Amino acid sequence: MRCYNRSVLLIALVACSAAFAQGPTYQRGRTPTQEEIRAWDISISPSGMELPPGKGTAKEGANIYAQKCAECHGPTGAEGDFRHGRLVGGKGTLNTTRPIITLGSFWPFATTIWDYINRSMPMYRAGSLSADEVYALTAVLLYRNGIIQENDVIDAKSLPKIQMPNRNGFFPTKPVWKPGTKREFGLYP
Amino acid sequence: MNTNKPDRRRFLKNGVALAGLAVGGMRSGVAQTLGSEAVERHAKVAESYGERTRFETVARLPQAPTPQYQRAGIMLTPLQDSVGIITPSSLHYIATHNHAVPEIDPRQHRVLIHGLVDRSLVFTMEELRCLPSVSRVHFLECANNSTQLLAGDGRKAETVQDTHGKTSCSEWSGVPLSVLLKEAGVQKGAAWVIAEGLDLVKHAQSIPLEKAMDDIIVAYGQNGEALRPEQGYPLRLVTPGFEGLYQVKWLRRIKVVDQPYMNLLETTTYIRPMPDGKAHWFDFELPPKSVITRPSGGQRVPGRGFYEITGLAWSGGGAIQRVEVSTDGGRTWKDARIQEPLHRFAHTRFYFPWTWDGEETVVQSRCTDERGQVQPTLTEFLKTRGVDLNYWKTTKARVGFFNGIQPWKVTREGSVQNALL
């Protein structure tokens, strides 16, 4: 009798979980249109797969930088007095007691530059830049950090291929999370 | 029947008028007595949103600006006056990176689930409220809480509000993120989700899918009511035990993806540069931490005799298993009583009976969590990080995830001071 009950329960459980995996259970929410998703999806992967069409060079971007960025970040981008603001320089400072963290000295991926300018900049006027302008400004910052040449064209293809100088400065090499991992005293992790 | 209606109405009208007269008469008749005043006040309170008495003035304080954090816009929770484990919503710490709090109409708000899913879905707030929900008690904490003492500039950290005020604990209510992800159907190859808010810079955070399917809450409620605007109204993530960065407020989008996207804050501010120039990224869970809130810096012990020591312990590792207290400068340690029921990833109140002999001493606490992780002393912490105190005092490197024991010195006069200063 007991055995019988258990097997019924087991069958019911299996049936339940199979249904769960196949389709929605609660039938709430609606399907968004492709246009809605496109309008909201501003996340750019290190692979660059979401990057839109467009292009720009540091030469083309210099003027845009002067007009829209220099007010807060300084004429060259190396003037910032705290690390959020400073965009250029800091090479060779990471192992000192005053590391200067900029996208040139620290950031592992160039795609983050495009993502953040497009997502958030200029402050209070986010979303006002065209894709071409964002590519051009990304090129300006890469050029001023000595990573590309002034006339290098930055677009959806070339941007993810750029090797950032500090790409290998991070540990663990691949960030992973394992639930319940115990850590040593004071080492987090 | 129809002809009766006007009569009935007139009767009701008159009746109301009579009742009104009667109430008016009563009011004027007893207005001179204290009793009627009390009745009137009580009626007023009952129909409004409650306020505390004017005798209670405990408040949040802004964190003193430092060159490094002048834009952080941080308000600190007054832990020194806390009782129990719940932080009143009005006193919850705030860290918005100084970006203005958006005002969002919940009727217009939508949350989008898309990416590596079988079905992209958009939910209104009303639709979310139809789904299975949970309420759980969890702490939130800024990754650099309790480090400003060692930052070397800004206001001296004299009180526990200064040292540890960037943590609070609430009961959070909402839909498990796993419910939304299962509705959308997570595809093979998915390993992370990107959560995005509607603040000025549209803060986005990469979160391991395994955590998202485990215990993250898409929360609309805090301490029995809607979220406060500064806490993400109308919708936020609560990611139990993880650093503040993962608690995405004003949530509008969840994208299921194959890898971390290296958004701004996880690329810069919340990566820990080490002395050798390498940097640790993706810290996830906060370490075990405890602090005595009473007596704590700036308070007074009113003379020798009995005094109940109390404080809070919490850990990103889960539940707090043990809290020990030392009242003799760390020579001996005894178990404190822990308040039950125990909540995982929550502030845990502890109590310790103490009879002060009137001599100068140092009181401190240390905790152990369910993983067996123990809170270290400052010396032990620095040793395992491979640096000396001077490094933390002079460096501009991030000193986050500091969880050293906090000692308070009690002087012979009964005043309490931060013994690390």
pLDDT at B394: 62
Name the residue among B315, B306, B308 with its Cα closest to residue B294: B308
Q: Which residues of B touch A43 (CB under 8 A)?
A: 194, 196, 204, 255, 257, 261, 263
Distance from CA of A31 to the nearest CA of B (A): 5
Chosen for mutation from B98, B117, B120 (greatest number of chain A CBs closer than 10 Å) is B120
Q: Does B379 touch chain A (CB under 8 A)?
A: no
Establish how many alpha carbons lie within 13 A of residue B257's alpha carbon, considering only the half-sphere containing its beta carbon.
23
SS3 A112: helix
Tell me how far apart the alpha carbons of residues A151 and A147 are, in angstroms, rounded to a whole number. Answer: 12
Q: Which residues of A touch B68 (CB under 8 A)?
A: 82-83
* Sheet containing B305-314: order of strands: B289-294, B305-314, B348-356, B337-338
Name the residue among B272, B275, B222 with its Cα closest to residue B247: B222
SS3 B43: helix
- For residue A98, the surrounding DSSP H or E stretch is none
Question: What's the Rg (C-alpha) of chain A?
Answer: 24
Do A37 and B120 make contact, defined as CB atoms within 8 angstroms?
yes
**What residues have CB less than 8 Å from B117, skipping those under 6 apart?**
B181, B184, B185, B186, B187, B190, B256
SS3 B218: strand
SS3 B16: helix
pLDDT at A10: 46
Do B201 and A98 make contact, defined as CB atoms within 8 angstroms?
no
Do A188 and B271 make contact, defined as CB atoms within 8 angstroms?
no
Query: Which residue among B119, B268, B381 sits closest to A24, beta carbon to beta carbon?
Result: B119
pLDDT, tens digit (0-9, with 9 covering 90-100), for A14-60? 444 444 455 799 999 999 999 999 999 999 999 999 999 999 999 99
Q: Which residues of A touch B345 (CB under 8 A)?
A: none
For B133, list phi and psi in degrees, rounded to 5: -130, 165
State how far the alpha carbon of A188 is from the alpha carbons of A164, B269, B346, in Å: 26, 16, 19
Mean pLDDT in residue range A156-164: 98
Give the Cβ contact number of residue B33 at 10 Å.
10
For A81, nearest residue in chain B (alpha carbons): B67
Distance from CA of B231 to the nearest CA of A (A): 21
Is B158 exposed, middle or buried, given 0-12, 13-18 or 19+ CB atoms closer than 10 A? middle
Query: Which residue among A97, A171, A179 sits closest to B394, beta carbon to beta carbon?
Result: A97
pLDDT at B64: 66
pLDDT at A11: 47
Positive or negative: CA dihedral A61, A66, A67, A69: positive
Global ipTM:
0.87
Contact B291/B312 with Cβ under 8 angstroms?
yes
Q: What is the pLDDT along chain B (421 residues), one digit of tens a residue?
A: 344 444 444 444 444 444 444 443 344 444 455 555 554 555 555 668 999 999 999 999 887 665 544 455 789 999 999 999 999 999 999 998 767 899 999 999 999 999 999 999 999 999 999 999 999 999 999 998 987 665 445 567 899 999 999 999 999 999 999 999 999 999 999 999 999 999 989 999 999 999 999 999 999 999 999 999 999 999 999 999 999 999 999 999 999 999 999 999 999 888 887 878 888 899 899 999 999 999 999 999 999 999 999 999 999 999 999 999 999 999 999 999 999 999 999 999 999 999 999 999 999 999 999 999 999 998 888 887 777 777 766 655 556 788 999 999 999 999 999 998 8
pLDDT at B280: 87
pLDDT at B29: 43
Chosen for mutation from A28, A34, A95, A171 (greatest number of chain B CBs closer than 10 Å) is A28
pLDDT, tens digit (0-9, with 9 covering 90-100), for A46-101? 999 999 999 999 999 999 999 999 988 889 999 875 445 789 999 999 988 788 88
For chain B positions 242-271, those within 8 Å of chain A (CB to CB) are 252-253, 255, 257, 259-264, 267-269, 271
Do B282 and A177 make contact, defined as CB atoms within 8 angstroms?
yes
- Name the β-bridge partners of B138: B170
The torsion angle over the Cα atoms of residues A107, A111, A117 and A120, rounded to 10 degrees, is: -90
| Domain boundaries of chain B, sorted by first residue | 61-269, 289-418
**Strands of B118-176, DSSP E:** 121-124, 134-141, 167-176
CATH class label, B289-418: mainly beta
Same CATH topology for B61-269 and B289-418? Answer: no
Distance from CA of B265 to the nearest CA of A (A): 10
Q: Would you identify the CATH topology of the domain B61-269? A: Sulfite Oxidase; Chain A, domain 2 (3.90.420)
Q: Which spans in B277-317 are helix H?
A: none
Tell me how far apart the alpha carbons of residues B363 and B160 are, in angstroms, rounded to a whole number. Answer: 13
Distance from CA of A107 to the nearest CA of B (A): 6
Query: What is the phi-psi region of residue B344: left when phi exceeds 0, alpha when psi lies from -120 to 50, beta otherwise?
Result: beta
Do B279 and A94 make contact, defined as CB atoms within 8 angstroms?
yes
